[in-house]
Amino acid sequence: MDTTQDSSQYGDLTVEQARVMRADHARLAALYANRVEQAQAAAEYGAVAHWRHEYRRSASRCRLLGERIRTGGCHSPAEPSKRNPTVLRVARRPAADVPATGESA
């Protein structure tokens, strides 16, 4: 198995499927951001940490899916004529490669 093209938790997705998943993660990120604000207002710092973690996870997935959609997806060495242009491979990135969300921790 080629680890440079390691299949992610999403596997092969069509562009439309990736868009639907990105919209879902964006909705969840907005929900979690709201919960962070509510927990901060209530001074529930354990809940703040939990919801901030969930927010960052959804936001990073949303960014990754958006990046894959914009770039056309798969970057495999296969010949373009043999690839299906409507299918993209979403690769898992290490957490260190995920850009900061602009929030202070």
Round the average pLDDT of the chain to a whole number and report it: 75
User: In terms of Cα–Cα distance, which of 1, 25, 29 is closest to 13?
Assistant: 25
Ranges of each domain in the chain: 3-97
| Integer angstrom CA distances of residue 41 from 3, 4, 34, 50, 69 | 44, 44, 11, 15, 36
pTM over 0.75: no
Cα gap 102→56, rounded to integer Å: 10
The pLDDT tens digits of the residues spanning 19-69 come to 999 999 999 999 999 999 999 999 999 999 999 999 999 999 999 999 888
